[in-house]
Structure 1
């Protein structure tokens, strides 16, 4: 037996005893670690993958914009490989997600269905809006409410001329239909914008009261108007996905999808419920809970928004699928 044969045999024996190196996926989070997305998506995904792979595939969250500042650029970070996974809002780049954002419009998600399921139902119609990535989860927020500073809103006329922050194009059309001036900006800029008077308020979910501390700058809330909701995505760069082993891909494919999206949406709703309870308990806040008659004025004002938007993006098939 030659030295080379002996050496190769010994090397192969040693290699067989060495466990496969663990792979850690980088998940870019533009919010602090206390945000709802961390436990409901990032930590949930890590726990599921760790268990499924015996620890050979894990997920680590990089919080507070550690992998790059600015939520608008999240999607690009996944495509370019700056992060393996990201989460974000389609509304921040509305032109890319024209059909996906139909789910944000009032009345699109049936009362007995989650937004996550509506988006899952429409994947055949909207998948083309996620180039260069593999969707990990899609979901929606709790229904939007009016979160205002020094302005109690009881009718559409109360919104006339007010500057309202919106996340994207769909919410912008709703704000315009109600007579407000939409101002599009990322949610992490809203606190300062409300505090300084740059905007009068925001149409968004109550979860932002705790996730982004908007309870510290808002003092007037209106509930019951048809304002739709927000959509969210978590995606993985196609290059990162392709680099996984077959076993790792199988584990990820089992962990991602509708179940993870619904887990996130359930958490968003729970955060919103708790945040609203806390806001109502604050004597410094005023609440307007619209009666059915009062809400009808808002319904009438936005009645054409859904049909007009769906037609403008050729989204009839996506709209129908979301309502299945």
Structure 2
């Protein structure tokens, strides 16, 4: 009897271990930037935190290549081609309105500050309006301050910028560039190296990080603006079916490390790589940096004022109340986080 009991106990224990193993949830993650890029690294760091917080019940599997081009990533996550990824809202012009608030000029010089402030505003005002319906939003974030980079000459005025051809990433900077009369083309960030190395484009609008991340060794000039010429709104997301299938305990883990935690993970990574690119990589390749003059800044402000009026009207038409007050609150939140 004792032997039979012991064998039964071993068999039962084996079933329990097997059951635990089969119960582990694996999320397939997709990235359209290199695995060394700060966004890919931040996504991997978030996944490590997910595995730790869930005591191994949940983990991520990084797919070897992106399941979709950057503009198609939102729909790819919605449709379950991958479980977790990120995208730039501005890569699909006209689809997202409220998120443009995080793309305006002069917001701030730190990705952490703008990202956390954006997440707070997003949770309070934008999430209830469901503009990202179709996915489970894990968090929103922004990159560091946007800069004018080029291969040709110092850009010290709006006229200088108008004489060159630039790649841009979409969103408010697309509209601002049109208003300024600049020659810009909307292309995803990973295409920048080819566009610049072949001379199809003379420059690109990017945060500091991108010169190092995309190995843009041909860049020779940078024009900076206090708080950035522009910013970019990103959404970090999960397939909703995958989330809904989780246990209540595991949903709580996902929720715990979402929101501001996402904004900080991605923002801290971006600030770190911005500094490395600016202080090490760009110095080594002789990038000449100039800060925009007051007159240049004022030209941008004059054009941006009309764009903010247009944004406020469009956002209110989609259900946002007192859009200008929301923008003011966003800027105040950034100032508090500096």
Distance 2:249 2:94 in 1: 36
Aligned residue runs from structure 1 range 200-211, under 5 A: 200-211=202-213
- What's the C-alpha RMSD, in Å, of the aligned pairs? 2.7
| Count of matched residue pairs | 314
Q: Residue 322 of structure 1 aligns with which residue?
A: 330
Alpha carbons of structure 1 residues 285 and 18: separation in structure 2 relative to 1, 3 Å = closer
The separation in 1 between residues aligned to 2:270 and 2:16, in whole angstroms, is: 46
TM-score by length of 2: 0.83
Instruction: Single out whichever of 288-297 and 198-207 deviates more from structure 2.
Output: 288-297
SS in 2 for 1:229: coil
1-structure distance, mates of 2:292, 2:281: 17
Distance 1:187 1:171 in 2: 14
Structure 1 residues 103, 180: CA separation in 2 closer, same or farther (over 3 Å shift)? same
Structure 1 partner of 2:56: 55
Quote the offset at 1:197 in angstroms. 2.2
Answer whether contact 1:149 1:218 (CA < 8 A) is retained: yes
In the alignment, which residue of structure 2 is the partner of 1:299? 301
Note if contact 1:138-1:234 (Cα within 8 Å) is conserved in structure 2.
Answer: yes
Asked if 1:84 is matched to 2:86, the reply is no
Distance in 2 separating the partners of 1:271 and 1:115: 15
Indicate if the aligned counterparts of 1:206 and 1:275 stay in contact, CA closer than 8 A.
yes
Partner in structure 2 of residue 154 of structure 1: 156
Offset from partner CA, 1:58-83 (integer Å, 9 cap, x none): 122225xx242411111111111111
Specify the alignment match of 1:117 in structure 2.
Answer: 117
Aligned residue runs from structure 1 range 27-46, under 5 A: 27-40=29-42, 42-46=43-47
The corresponding residue for 1:234 is: 236
Q: TM-score, normalised by structure 1?
A: 0.87
Residues 1-324 of structure 1 aligned to structure 2 (within 5 Å): 15-21=15-21, 22-40=24-42, 42-63=43-64, 66-108=65-107, 113-127=113-127, 128-214=130-216, 216-224=217-225, 227-282=229-284, 284-292=286-294, 294-314=296-316, 316-317=322-323, 318-323=326-331, 324=333
Could you list the per-position Cα deviations for residues 77-129 of structure 1 after superposition, in whole angstroms to 9, with x for gaps in the alignment?
11111111111111111322111122111245698942332233233432211
Where do 5+ consecutive residues of structure 1 fail to align? 1-7
Relative distance call for 1:288 and 1:242 in structure 2 (3 A) is: same
Q: Structure 2: which 5+ residue stretches go unaligned?
A: 1-7, 334-338
Deviations 1:142-179 (A, max 9, x none): 11000112132001111225322221131111212322
Cα shift at 1:14 = 5.0
* Alpha carbons of structure 1 residues 31 and 254: separation in structure 2 relative to 1, 3 Å: same
